[in-house]
Amino acid sequence: MNAVPPHVLSRVLLPQNDLRRDGALCQRTLNPLMQQRVFNVLLLTLGVIGLALASRIDAATAATTAPQWQEVELTFTATRDTANPYTDAEAWTEFTHDDGTKLRRPMFWDGGRTFRVRFASTKSAGTWRWTSSDRDGDAGLNGKSGTLAAAPAASETATIFTRHGFWSIPPGGRNLIHADGRARLLCADTPWALPWRATVEQAEIYARDRQAKGYNAALLMTVQPDMDCKGPRSRTEDLGFDVGFEDLPKGALRQLRPEYFQMFDRLTGILVAHGIAPVYQPVFHGYGWKGRRVAGNVVSAEDYARYCRYLVARYGARPAIWLVGGDGPATDPTIVAQLDRAGQTIEEWDAYRQPTGIHYSPHSLYRTHQDKAWLDFQWCQTGHGGEHVPERVADMWRNTPVKAVANGEPTYENIGKTGRGAGWWQGHEAWCNLTAGSTMGLVYGAGSLWQWRLHAKEPDHADWCTAPGAGWREALDFEGSRYPGIVAKILDGLPFAEMQPNWTYTYGKRGLAVPGKLFVLYLPEGGGTGITSLDVPRAYRVYDPRTGAEVGKGLLPDSAPTQFNSGSSGEPRVVVFLSSDRNP
């Protein structure tokens, strides 16, 4: 049984064309008899290595390094066949650190008799001892054991997650908190169809762009959800899409295709490498991809929960957010039960307690499952008509018990009509939502990008939800995509955990406050306001929210009320009043 990081496996197992080049080199330098002997030895050596890696026998006794907050993989081979390993097998591995910390990670089936466990060390030193278990006692999956040596994260692959750890939301909290306690504002994009449409090269282009613009999450429909969609099984042909479950068109999730998820591994790996956490939505409940009968509304609770466990097993040792409900009212009793079972399953198997929540349709109440322990956040949706409706966020803020909230789907840029929700509209929308209570963070979207339209003339996409004259690549460059990331950059490093909407520190201006520590003031037209409280820190800095540039700074007098002016008129300004600012 060996523990091998996935990137090491890819380097050890040489492709066949590399082997032929090595053989050709031997033939140029050795006589014919020696050529054959050397070539046979080379094949035998590679074969032994390949068999050792493929069978994962208990040959490795030395500990394998597990860098902190980075995925490593254990591979197991079952000794017997089952009719459907995806539905019939249940196995897991428990990891115990020297200090007593225990983490349990589920196995997932990856084709044939192959099962894998993925693990991320929460420690930078010490030893993890692991033991595998299988419900049915399969000798290849049950009773195996070994060690992993915890180590610091590799600096050459550093992201916000390897530096600070995975996200969680504390009970009663409203913000994303890294494992080291640092608060982070969600800045998410919505390339919903990337998992079944994008190529590796396209995902690289996408991830580089969004990383540069300050995004740290991406909302993904993990499988194409429409039961009645037809097209070639292709990522490069018009109408095409890849398939995660063969039986999804029948409203079931039992015939899983490992090949699809192996490709999904690569795509999500690209996002993670660029500091972008995938937001995994199992099967959509609303419009879906083309509005052709989404499977999320008919899949059984058992199938849905099993798939959630699979996602946690396969992707839970990477940065992740679990979005159990996708664009539905979530009030139908069948869906209520389905989502509750899914949430409980994720809570049971996610050792890292990464955030779990629901994304609703525009006409929903946004409070289904509000009292559930597994629920960390609620996301509203305000439709795609080009209106600013921060009141929906404010409504969610008032729900109890307290959960984190955000507008998970404002108007997508240029959706249905060029200019709708375009340009600075997206920046103003972001600040309006944030100051209304969307303190978990911000979500952006663009027509033609969300459905990963291959090109501007690809047929069979409804006009109302595409951007005229744009495919995914053109939509990637829409102006409005710049502004949510600037919000996140302005707030980065500030003590904004538990900040709340505040209307009492000014004469009716939009603001967010952590009393005595932080006050963030949004002035859509610049200008000034009266500051009414000494709880507002005296030192301030003024930013242009269109560029993120600091354009002013100063100190308020030690009295209240007092007047403040941003130094601009007719241009948006954000002012950060910070108690710890010692160089105003």
What's the mean pLDDT when you consider all of the chain?
Answer: 90
Please state the rounded mean pLDDT for residues 104-132.
Answer: 97
Output the pLDDT for position 365: 84
Q: Which residues contact 168 (CB under 8 A, 6 or more apart)?
A: 176, 177, 179, 352, 353, 354, 355, 376
User: Does pLDDT of 16 surpass 80?
Assistant: no
> Is the dihedral angle over the CA atoms 532, 534, 536, 541 positive or is it negative?
positive
**Cis bond upstream, residue 85 (ω within 30):** no
Beta bridge partners of 97: 128
pLDDT in the model for residue 217 = 98
Residue 155's pLDDT is what?
Answer: 80
Lowest mean pLDDT among 42-46, 415-419, 504-508: 42-46
**pLDDT value at position 47?**
39
Mean pLDDT of 474-490: 98
**Quick one: pLDDT band at residue 55, thresholds 50, 70, 90?**
very low
Collapse the DSSP code of 313 into the 3-class scheme (helix H, G, I; strand E, B; otherwise coil) and give the result: helix
Sheet containing 441-443: which strands, arranged edge to edge?
404-409, 377-381, 356-360, 321-328, 277-281, 217-221, 186-189, 441-443
303: helix, strand or coil: helix
pLDDT of 68 above 60: yes
Homologous superfamily, domain 64-155: Immunoglobulins (2.60.40.10)
pLDDT at 114 over 50: yes
Task: State the average pLDDT over residues 517-531.
Answer: 97
Q: What's phi and psi for 405, nearest 5 deg?
A: -135, 155
DSSP-derived 3-state class of residue 513:
strand
Predicted local distance difference test score (pLDDT) of residue 446: 98
Determine the pLDDT at residue 50.
38
Domain boundaries, the chain: 6-55, 64-155, 162-491, 502-578
Span 149-176, average pLDDT? 94
- The predicted structure's pLDDT at residue 154: 84
Sheet holding 176-178, edge to edge: 167-168, 176-178, 183-184
Q: What is the pLDDT of residue 445?
A: 98
Residue 157: what pLDDT? 80
Over 70: is that where the pLDDT of 269 sits? Answer: yes
Residue 583 binned pLDDT confidence (cut-offs 50, 70, 90): low
Indicate if the pLDDT at residue 483 is higher than 60.
yes
Report the pLDDT averaged over residues 429-454. 98
Q: 162-491 falls under which CATH superfamily? A: Glycosidases (3.20.20.80)
For residue 26, pLDDT beyond 80: no
Whether residue 573 is predicted with pLDDT greater than 80 in this model: the reply is yes
The model's confidence at residue 584, banded by pLDDT at 50, 70 and 90, is low
Q: Residue 314: is its pLDDT beyond 80?
A: yes
Range name among 164-173, 361-370, 521-530 with the lowest pLDDT average: 361-370
Share of the chain above pLDDT 90, in %: 86
Ranking 59-63, 200-204, 543-547 by mean pLDDT, the lowest is: 59-63
What tens digit of pLDDT does each residue of 533-549 get? 999 999 999 999 999 99
pLDDT, tens digit (0-9, with 9 covering 90-100), for 370-425: 999 999 999 999 999 999 999 999 999 999 999 999 999 999 999 999 999 999 99
Residue written as token pair 């109890």? 400
Please say if the pLDDT value at position 279 is more than 50: yes
| Tokens 């009266």, located at residue | 530
What tokens were used for 548? 């993120």
Average pLDDT over residues 68-73: 96
Structure tokens at 531: 């500051």
Phi and psi at residue 399, in whole multiples of 5°? -65, 145
Find the mean pLDDT for residues 114-121: 97
With both helix axes pointing from N to C terminus, report the angle between 424-436 and 483-491 in degrees, rounded to the nearest 10.
Answer: 40
Given this model, what pLDDT does residue 185 score?
A: 98
Task: Tell which wins on pLDDT, 20 or 557.
Answer: 557
What's the pLDDT at 4?
44
